[in-house]
């Protein structure tokens, strides 16, 4: 059985009761994959490419990843935090360089790296339309990295923007931690969080990644369940 290792941030991490109803994309991705694959989710809240490596999280993956496995690399939300030197990376230099380290780590062990652009925030304007975008430079930087290092890329950012625009401002609330007070016993206070996901959002965006993998073809498409209509 081959393993899909995930290096990413809070939008992907596996949550427990303490953060319910927050749900990460990597947490639900097993819904979309064949029995020959399993997910080992190393995503963690608040991490950037820099802090993920500095904390030894990539090293922990390197100890376990092997031939025929996959490394899904999904960052951007925290790399852009310029006020925090422990996390910030410049989108067209250090961000790309760090992505190259992740990619090479996978390749050194016979594994297949995949870059996944960051999921868009629920950034609607007062007119009800989606704003100009929250992560543009880091999406562009990741696309440059994909070309520089000749690695496949799933453009979740663009697909999630399309999905958000189609759902609209009210309809997309159920995908995110955006809900009134009293809706959840475990989370009784109001939440107006446009970044983190609930179960429906995690499943929706995981399905978009599955679609992107199928479009890549070959070994990447083989991960995804054949019967899924994506």
Catalytic residues: 10, 189, 196
How far is C-alpha 229 from the chain's CA centre? 21
Using left for φ > 0, alpha for ψ between -120 and 50, and beta otherwise, residue 9 falls in beta
What contacts 194, CB < 8 A, 6 or more positions away?
121, 122, 123, 176, 178
Contact yes or no for 176/23 (Cβ under 8 A): no
Query: Phi and psi dihedrals of 5, rounded to 5?
Result: -90, 140
Contact yes or no for 7/73 (Cβ under 8 A): yes
CA 68 – CA 3 distance, rounded (Å): 8
């Amino acid at each position: 059985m081959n393993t899909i290792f995930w290096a990413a941030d809070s939008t992907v991490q596996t949550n427990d009761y303490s953060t319910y109803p927050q749900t990460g994309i990597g947490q639900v991705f097993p819904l979309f994959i064949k029995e020959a694959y399993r997910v080992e989710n190393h995503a963690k809240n608040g991490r950037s490419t820099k802090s993920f490596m500095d904390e030894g999280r990539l090293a922990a993956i390197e100890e376990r990843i092997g031939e025929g496995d996959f490394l899904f690399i999904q960052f951007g939300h925290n790399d852009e935090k310029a006020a925090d030197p422990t996390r910030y990376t410049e989108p067209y230099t250090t961000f790309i360089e760090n992505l190259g380290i992740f990619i090479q780590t996978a390749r050194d062990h016979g594994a297949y790296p995949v870059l996944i652009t960051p999921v868009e925030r629920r950034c609607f304007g007062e007119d009800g339309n989606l704003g100009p975008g929250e992560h543009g430079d880091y999406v562009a930087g990741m696309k440059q990295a994909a070309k520089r290092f000749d690695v496949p890329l799933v453009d979740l950012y663009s697909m999630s923007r399309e999905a958000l625009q189609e759902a609209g401002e009210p309809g997309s609330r159920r995908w995110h931690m955006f809900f009134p007070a009293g809706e959840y016993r475990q989370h009784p206070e109001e939440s107006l969080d446009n970044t983190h996901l609930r179960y429906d959002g995690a499943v929706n965006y995981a399905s978009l990644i599955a679609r992107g993998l199928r479009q890549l073809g070959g070994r990447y498409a083989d991960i995804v369940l054949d019967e899924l209509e994506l």
